[in-house]
Amino acid sequence: MPDYSLEAAHGGLVAGVDEAGCGPLAGPVVAAAVIFRDDISSHLAALLNDSKQLKVAQRDRAFTALHDAPDVFIGVGAASVAEIHDINILKASHLAMRRAVERLGLLPDLALVDGNRVPALPCPVKTVVGGDGLSLSIAAASIVAKVIRDRIMQRLDERWPVYGWARNAGYGTKGHREALERVGISPHHRRGFGTVKRYLGQELSA
């Protein structure tokens, strides 16, 4: 379970930063940054973990608790499908992270970033491999990014239900791939991804 030791060891304002949506075939990549201005309560800490380890209801409960908690600062950023195509998914995820940090409302003294790649942020960066399972700030960011991205995909699913995005969040599940085979791609698919490239001749209009 994540704890607050990495944040406490540094002192000052420490932001946890994580992204959601690098792997899907469709939709934006979303990043979040979270700062706990004061010590995190034991109740809130108990709700937080790597978003992949939580069920939907648990993520939603943690998401609400984070937004309701005093002295928690949250920034969210995204990079569009067009940006993913233009600059590649890694650079797009780093762009989303930078936007998330810039939208915190205050500049952290340090950003703890999940993974081993250093994004260009307006503050010092420390990467943490497996950080969403180690740092409460990164875990919180992973939850915020995941919940917001899933909600985006649910809204897109209302217009493009054939792909099942409300269920698969744009990942290349069997049903999603079968829909690509059957009807082709949408404007929200990532054209540079290999699985999507095979269907570029079949494109649905916006």
Angle at alpha carbon of residue 109, lines to 15 and 123, rounded to 5°: 85
Q: What is the pLDDT of residue 38?
A: 81
pLDDT category of residue 56 using cuts at 50, 70 and 90: very high
The two beta strands, 29-36 and 72-79, are: antiparallel
Rounded CA-CA distance 112/17 in Å is 6
pLDDT tens column, 15-51: 999 999 999 999 999 999 999 988 788 999 999 999 9
The pLDDT, as a whole number, for residue 198 is 87
| Residue 74, strand partner residues | 34
**Averaged pLDDT for residues 163-169:** 98
Alpha-carbon distance of 163 to 171, in angstroms, equals 10
Tell me the two tokens of residue 100: 């998330």
Residue 202: pLDDT band with limits 50, 70, 90:
low
Residues 18 and 75 sit within 8 Å (Cβ to Cβ): no
Q: How confident is the model at residue 11 (pLDDT cuts 50, 70, 90)?
A: confident
Beta strand pairing call for 110-114 and 72-79: unpaired
Residue 169: pLDDT band with limits 50, 70, 90:
very high
pLDDT at 39: 79
Mean pLDDT of the chain: 95
The Cα 138–Cα 35 span in angstroms is 9
**Nearest Cα residue to 120 out of 88, 103, 145, 97:** 97
Question: What is the residue whose two structure tokens read 């939580």?
Answer: 54
Mean pLDDT of 48-67: 96
Domains of the chain by start residue, with CATH:
5-158 (3.30.420.10), 161-197 (no CATH)
In terms of residues, how long is the chain?
206
pLDDT in tens, 63-82: 999 999 989 999 999 999 99
